[in-house]
């Protein structure tokens, strides 16, 4: 059974927009979509490349912030991209893989909403910070073009 296109579009909508818009959109029977930002000053790896490299990375669980950061640095060798990813994760969760937003339910290092979206990077998304890092890099690359572009957006809006 193919993955529903509407679910894919929902997965790419920024988490803060999704919370309010989903209620309004679902009440009106509308599908929610968003066009990704086109700004990407420093090239980031393609999402497929990130996931491929992540699969070849260590399979040990990155439960602590130092291990999660080390994996992010390995997957983002460009210093600007890593710094942007680090800033976002620091603001969103303080590098706590179990961080949960009490009002929205966003979960994990990158505050995915819903957190279960991270299952596309691994079934252990709830416990494995490494899986969350992989998913977060892929999300930022697909949605914004790069972690640096996601950070630029975050700075302007205080969410991404």
What integer pLDDT is reported at residue 34 of this predicted model? 41
Considering only residues 12 and 95, tell me which one the structure prediction assigns the higher pLDDT. 95
C-beta separation of 63 from 97 below 8 A: yes
What integer pLDDT is reported at residue 64 of this predicted model? 78
pLDDT digits (tens, 9 = 90+) for 16-29: 444 443 433 333 34
Considering only residues 13 and 80, tell me which one the structure prediction assigns the higher pLDDT. 80
Beta-bridge partner residues of 107: 100, 112
What integer pLDDT is reported at residue 18 of this predicted model? 41
pLDDT digits (tens, 9 = 90+) for 3-52: 343 343 344 444 444 444 343 333 334 333 343 444 444 445 554 545 44
**Residue 76 CB neighbours (<10 A):** 26
What integer pLDDT is reported at residue 63 of this predicted model? 62
Domain-by-domain residue ranges, the chain? 1-34, 41-157
């Amino acid at each position: 059974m193919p993955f529903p296109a509407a679910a894919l579009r929902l997965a790419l909508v920024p988490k803060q927009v999704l919370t309010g818009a989903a209620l309004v959109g679902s009440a009106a029977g509308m599908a929610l979509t968003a066009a990704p930002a086109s700004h990407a000053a420093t090239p980031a790896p393609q999402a497929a490349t990130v996931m491929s490299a992540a699969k070849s990375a260590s399979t040990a669980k990155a439960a602590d912030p130092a291990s999660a950061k080390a994996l992010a640095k390995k997957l983002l060798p460009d210093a600007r991209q890593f710094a942007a990813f680090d800033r976002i994760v620091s603001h969103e969760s303080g590098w706590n893989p179990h961080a949960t937003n009490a009002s929205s339910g966003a979960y994990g290092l990158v505050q995915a909403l819903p957190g279960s979206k991270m299952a596309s990077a691994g079934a252990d998304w709830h416990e494995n910070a490494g899986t969350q890092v992989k998913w977060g890099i892929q999300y930022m690359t697909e949605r914004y073009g790069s972690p640096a572009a996601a950070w630029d957006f975050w700075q302007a809006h205080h969410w991404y």
